């Protein structure tokens, strides 16, 4: 099930307040400078077309949401979703989320980390490229505030089970807590476009929530 071609972005949209490259992020890290206000911060790793960012920023206006997307065309598309609705509590990093965690995010700076349907890197020799690994798990623990949450979903059972075992063995996070699938109330009432596609095809989705 390949991705559909992206719709054209309205050239009149000003993406400036909604999109940054890694080099454009504030240094030293200052989320208030990025969003223009102080508020709890959540990070999404791999934003794709930005459905989660748009929905979350709209539903939780008191939280700042920073998405990261390594594919520049998808990062721009996600930022355009935010710009169309004027959701200034949403922002997209066009770049590698791991650099964000490695180089910028301070300890206890996030209320949530969201990881939805990351690339499973199917071949065994490529498993080391998977985002859910011990190094990233340490960053999750380091950057979450007490009571902060990790949300991890995938459609790959093997990846899910290996990741849960790794999180149990290497972190103090509590979980995994069950996440119940809710009926969709409309065509875009899904966490991500990938969830929408999987559920429309009847494919199982494995969901977990962890708490620091």
Beta strands in 41-191 (DSSP E): 41-45, 64-69, 90-94, 110-116, 144-154, 174-177
Residue tagged 């355009």 (tokens)? 80
Beta strands in 123-173 (DSSP E): 144-154
Question: Catalytic residue at 107?
Answer: no
Cis-peptide, bond into residue 176, ω within 30° of zero: yes
Q: Which of 14, 119, 155, 187 is catalytic?
A: 119
In order of 8, 26, 134, 212, the CA distances from 131 in angstroms are 29, 24, 9, 19
Q: What is the DSSP letter of 201?
A: T
Tell me the CB-side half-sphere exposure of residue 208, using CA atoms within 13 A: 25
Which residues participate in catalysis according to the annotation? Answer: 119
């Amino acid at each position: 099930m390949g991705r559909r071609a992206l719709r054209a972005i309205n050239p009149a949209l000003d993406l400036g307040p909604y999109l940054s490259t890694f080099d454009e992020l504030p240094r030293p890290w200052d989320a208030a400078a990025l969003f223009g206000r102080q508020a709890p911060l959540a990070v999404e790793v791999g934003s794709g077309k930005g459905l989660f960012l748009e929905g979350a920023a709209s539903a939780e206006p008191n939280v700042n949401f920073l998405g990261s997307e390594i594919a520049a065309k998808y990062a721009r598309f996600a930022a355009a979703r935010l710009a169309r609705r004027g959701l200034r509590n949403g922002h997209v990093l066009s770049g590698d989320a791991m650099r964000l965690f490695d180089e910028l995010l301070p300890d206890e700076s996030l209320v949530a980390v969201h990881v939805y349907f990351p690339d499973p890197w199917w071949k065994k020799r490529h498993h080391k490229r998977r985002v859910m690994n011990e190094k990233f798990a340490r960053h999750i623990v380091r950057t979450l505030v007490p009571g902060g949450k990790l949300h991890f979903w995938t459609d790959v059972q093997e990846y899910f089970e290996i990741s849960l075992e790794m999180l149990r063995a290497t972190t103090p996070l509590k979980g995994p807590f069950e996440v119940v699938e809710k009926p969709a109330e409309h065509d875009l009432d899904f966490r991500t476009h990938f969830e929408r596609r999987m559920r429309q095809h009847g494919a199982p989705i494995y969901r977990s929530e962890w708490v620091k």
